[in-house]
Structure 1
């Protein structure tokens, strides 16, 4: 039996899928989207959009210096993430009736971490519901570091 070109294409696709999974293990989660059905059609909101809204809400709180990478060792990043990289500091998991969020932040030295975390949770939940119409079932705040701010 002669398969010719289709086998080589199949082999390339398998190798490509394996390499994507190795290089980007979170790729499956990133490509997922929240679907909202309206009378006019369907709205797909990707996890990157959700992560950007979450990052903006988190950094807009007193006591939060910035976002941290969820994979500090793998990404080799100890610095504060810029706005365009907020997705690297947020994990979005799809759930039956909404999403679960993990937010990785760096807080300011001298602030009450529990209070800052509560503020982040409530602001993230509020912004997701008002801006995107997405329900946050849980918002987990992971403090990756503490920074002393210069006067």
Structure 2
């Protein structure tokens, strides 16, 4: 069910996929985030097989009545403060969705699915 925004000039309908993609791109800009964890294994595996990039991977959007909920499943870098990374992701996603789409998100839930050690040479 798309999120509808009423304006004096008409109605704007924004799909859940657009919200998920925007949230995924915003989250990936945050320091300490290694990647997104897949919640839809079959769909993401098929996209990878076909060579399609999926910025909405690891993001679930629920719209109920007039409320928007975003769930992010993330993988963080070892050695970073997990709480701080999660807070930064939450604030960045909330800000970007509000500024770029005009949607006020009611809740941004962060689920840390893993920690990855990155090797730098």
TM-score, length basis structure 1 = 0.69
CA offset at residue 67 of structure 1?
1.1
Partner of 1:102: 71
Return the alpha-carbon distance in structure 2 between the equivalents of residues 83 and 121 of structure 1: 26
Superposed CA RMSD: 2.4
TM-score, length basis structure 2 = 0.85
Return the alpha-carbon distance in structure 2 between the equivalents of residues 83 and 52 of structure 1: 13
CA offset at residue 68 of structure 1?
1.2
> Is 2:31–2:85's contact at 8 Å kept on the other side of the alignment?
yes
> Is 2:25–2:56's contact at 8 Å kept on the other side of the alignment?
no
> Is 2:24–2:57's contact at 8 Å kept on the other side of the alignment?
no
**Larger strand share, 1 or 2:** 2
Structure 2: runs of 5+ lacking an equivalent: none
Question: Structure 1 residues 146, 83: closer, same or farther in 2, change over 3 A?
Answer: farther
Partner of 2:26: 57
Return the alpha-carbon distance in structure 2 between the equivalents of residues 73 and 88 of structure 1: 12
1:134 to 95, 103, 108: 103
Question: Structure 1 residues 37, 73: closer, same or farther in 2, change over 3 A?
Answer: closer
**Larger helix share, 1 or 2:** 1
SS at match of 2:96: helix
Return the alpha-carbon distance in structure 2 between the equivalents of residues 111 and 150 of structure 1: 14
> Is 2:44–2:54's contact at 8 Å kept on the other side of the alignment?
no
Structure scoring higher RCO (CA < 8 A, sep ≥ 6) equals: 2
